[in-house]
Amino acid sequence: MRILPAIDIIEGKCVRLSKGDYTTKKIYNESPLEVAKAFEAHGIQHLHLVDLDGAKSKQIVNYKVLETLASQTSLKIDFGGGLKSDTDLKIAFESGANQITGGSIAVKDSDTFVSWIENYGAEKIILGADVKGLYIATDGWLETSQLNLFDFVQSYQAKGISYVICTDISKDGMLEGPAFELYRSLLSKVNIKLIASGGISTFEELPQLQELGCEGVIIGKAIYENRISLKQIEKFILSS
């Protein structure tokens, strides 16, 4: 199971939100590169980088941060937040993204998102399935659609998607544990590479998610609040 620590960017700084609410912003570090280098030093190979300014403005904003992290570390970066056009995508990949995550666009402009899967391949494109209850949320979680999670994921599986990040918004940044039942249910219905996201709070949850069959797990606030140490993650990676 891949470990993907999260770096969320607002105005070039490393921040965390609770439940996607921008008013809960907490700055953890002025230098995302410093944070990324600390991850790399502990054997972490992957990074989940979110452009929160981009998610709000509906176009890529913090691509310079992506460029810096990609050029100055060896981390394989999954980049998301506000990717809405072919131009945004081109900038993301040219700036060093290894994979990109599309959430809102997959809901609002399916044709474009499907063309990305076809043009770049299923290994490069991740479906972002952010849920409130069982319904897909969009636009930095400011809107909730009428799309059911299971139908949404199944429809994109039929169109070639294999990687899916599923975030239970009610758990994000709350340090109350991930949505185990939701993931179990999703994995029983669709054959996907599921990346768990939201609510990770203790080290013990990592092997549990691995056992469920998750392909990856995104860890954010638990690292920044020292609930899970980089040393523990390093040991987990070495033993996996």
The predicted-structure confidence for 13-33, as pLDDT tens digits, reads as follows 999 999 888 999 999 999 999
Answer yes or no: are the C-beta atoms of 125 and 161 closer than 8 Å: yes
Catalytic residue among 8, 53, 78, 172: 8
- What integer pLDDT is reported at residue 224 of this predicted model? 96
Number of domains the chain contains: 1
Predicted confidence (pLDDT) at residue 142 exceeds the cutoff of 80:
no
Predicted confidence (pLDDT) at residue 181 exceeds the cutoff of 90:
yes
pTM: 0.96
- What integer pLDDT is reported at residue 140 of this predicted model? 65
> pLDDT per residue over 56-92, tens digit each?
898 999 999 999 999 999 999 999 998 999 999 999 9
Predicted confidence (pLDDT) at residue 201 exceeds the cutoff of 80:
yes
Catalytic residue among 53, 130, 168, 172: 130
- What integer pLDDT is reported at residue 144 of this predicted model? 87
CATH number at residue 206: 3.20.20.70
Predicted confidence (pLDDT) at residue 1 exceeds the cutoff of 80:
yes
| Domain that includes residue 185, residue range | 2-239
Secondary structure (DSSP) of 55-97: HHHTS---HHHHHHHHHHS--EEEEESS--SHHHHHHHHHTT-
Predicted confidence (pLDDT) at residue 45 exceeds the cutoff of 80:
yes
Confidence of residue 143 (pLDDT cuts 50, 70, 90): confident
Phi, psi (degrees; rounded to nearest 5) at 62: -95, 45
- What integer pLDDT is reported at residue 138 of this predicted model? 86
- What integer pLDDT is reported at residue 5 of this predicted model? 98
Among this protein's residues, is 8 annotated catalytic? yes
Among this protein's residues, is 130 annotated catalytic? yes
